[in-house]
Amino acid sequence: MLEVKGVIPPLITPLTKDEHLDEEGLKRLLNYVIDGGVHGVFVLGSTGEFYGLEYSEKQKIVEKTIDEVNGRVPVYVGASAITTSEAVKLARMAKSCGAQALSVLTPMFVSPTEEELYQHFKAVADATDLPNILYNNPDKTGINMSPRLVKRLAQIENIVGVKDTSGDITLTCEYIRQNNTENSEFAVVAGKDTMIFPVLMCGGKGCVAGTANVLPKLVVDIYNKYIAKDYEGALKAQYRLSVFRNAYALGSFPVVPKDALNILGINVGHPIRPITHMTEEAQVKLKAILDELKDYL
């Protein structure tokens, strides 16, 4: 079974002006983050605007990603949808394309009970033999997965981890504590880029960090310094990354990392409307922040 660890960027989806995949942009981005030392790539996440893509476009993104990565790092694919049937369809598509793992977000818009959530995640896990990583993002879906639910789901053989984007370190630590047994390889990874170092210190295995699209070397530096037990260095790197992550307030999610890549010359095109590019004033501020981090570019 795949060991979930390290830095896994949820990839920006490079798009043309008419909101179709820019294949050359995807190749550029994949090679940029892999050259930056990441330990995996994750397509069709929220940073990748999965919610605005047609099924055929999603399949193309998965196929092109797996082809370009060519086994250099594991490819994680988002199998997230409002309905269980759609999530199962995405999971099977990812499997057929050759993905190494799935990431499954809690359904958005609807408000399932805990039992309904359990049955949803179980159905997606049962649909393939791929490792599944649960994805808790209450700010975006309105659902916050309890430690009790995560522990129950962790008993399913191919549910191997959870990404927590709640920003609640107590909750993240409970996910870790309640699944930290001698026989458990269940991985908890940070989904909040400002909390990578604290989650590692609490026993987390890595991060799914949107900022690693733009600053892969810096995010990897946090992880590598932690692994080397250079905790002071890891903390310093975390604080440097936080300056960029806090700049997400300059635009609507997820345009800031997309525009940052455009500023750096790694052209990834346009966001999906109604989201638009950052204002010129905001882009000037963003460029100044990137200039401060040029030693990691």
Domain segments of the chain as ranges: 6-248
Q: What is the pLDDT of residue 223?
A: 98
Catalytic residue among 32, 58, 76, 135, which? 135
As separate numbers, helices (DSSP H) first and strands (DSSP E) second, the chain gives: 12, 8
- Catalytic position from the list 32, 76, 163, 226: 163
N-term to C-term CA, the chain: 33
Tell which residue, 209, 227, 128, 125, has the closest CA to residue 163. Answer: 209
CA 99/CA 277 separation, integer angstroms: 31
State the CATH architecture for 6-248. Alpha-Beta Barrel (3.20)
pLDDT in tens for each of the 297 residues of the chain?
899 999 999 999 999 999 999 999 999 999 999 999 999 999 999 999 999 999 999 999 999 999 999 999 999 999 999 999 999 999 999 999 999 999 999 999 999 999 999 999 999 999 999 999 999 999 999 999 999 999 999 999 999 999 999 999 999 999 999 998 765 789 999 999 999 999 999 999 999 999 999 999 999 999 999 999 999 999 999 999 999 999 999 999 999 999 999 999 999 999 999 999 999 999 999 999 999 999 999
Q: Can you give the pLDDT at residue 180?
A: 86
- Catalytic residue flag (residue 135): yes
Q: What is the pLDDT of residue 1?
A: 81
Known active-site residue 175: no
Is pTM beyond 0.85? Reply is yes
Largest CA distance in the chain: 53
